[in-house]
């Protein structure tokens, strides 16, 4: 199941810019609506998007937080994502980041959650670089990208 989570997160992360470029708002089947209602309560402003009519994204507000939930065409919830504050990261992740990337500030955190677990995509800001890492709940960290500031 962790492999499935990794594949889904990797696909979403690597193709996010191209997906959103061709994604359009859409109406969805009753099956998707029922699956969504079974998974989430007390949400506001639900909008559905797709780029291939195979994977559907519900973007909505839950407790004043914008959430994205990704479903397949059969209504299976694949993964959810939301931007969280650095203070919400598990202590094991924060400790590892401080040790491995001293002098860098946590800029942005996106939490991805599925049945396989939770992973965090974290953007760190240093004096001369931006560093994108992936972390799991236990503090395992993987470097995804290092960019030089202009």
pLDDT tens column, 96-133: 999 999 999 999 999 999 988 999 999 999 999 999 99
- Tokens representing 70 are 């990704």
Beta-strand (E) ranges in the chain?
24-25, 43-50, 55-62, 65-72, 77-84, 105-114, 117-125, 129-136, 141-148
Quick check: 144 and 132 in contact, CB under 8 A?
Answer: yes
CA distance 149 to 98: 20
Higher per-residue confidence, 110 vs 3: 110
**Residue 22: what pLDDT?**
58
Tokens 């500030």: give the residue: 105
pLDDT of residue 21: 46
Domains of the chain: 2-77 (no CATH), 85-148 (3.10.450.40)
Compute the average pLDDT of residues 9-20: 44
Mean pLDDT of the chain: 88
């Amino acid at each position: 199941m962790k492999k499935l989570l990794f594949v889904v997160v990797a696909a979403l992360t690597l193709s996010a810019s191209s997906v959103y470029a061709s994604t359009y708002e859409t109406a969805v089947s009753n099956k998707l609506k029922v699956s969504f209602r079974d998974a989430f309560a007390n949400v506001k402003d639900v909008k559905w998007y797709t780029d291939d009519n195979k994977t559907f994204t519900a973007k909505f507000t839950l407790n004043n937080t914008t959430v994205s939930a990704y479903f397949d065409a059969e209504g299976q919830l694949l993964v959810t994502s939301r931007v969280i504050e650095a203070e919400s990261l598990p202590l094991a992740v924060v400790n590892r980041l401080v040790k491995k990337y001293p002098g860098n500030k946590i800029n942005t955190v996106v939490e991805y959650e599925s049945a396989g677990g939770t992973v965090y995509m974290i953007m760190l800001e240093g004096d001369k670089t931006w560093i994108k890492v992936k972390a799991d709940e236990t503090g395992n960290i993987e470097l995804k990208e290092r960019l030089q500031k202009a």
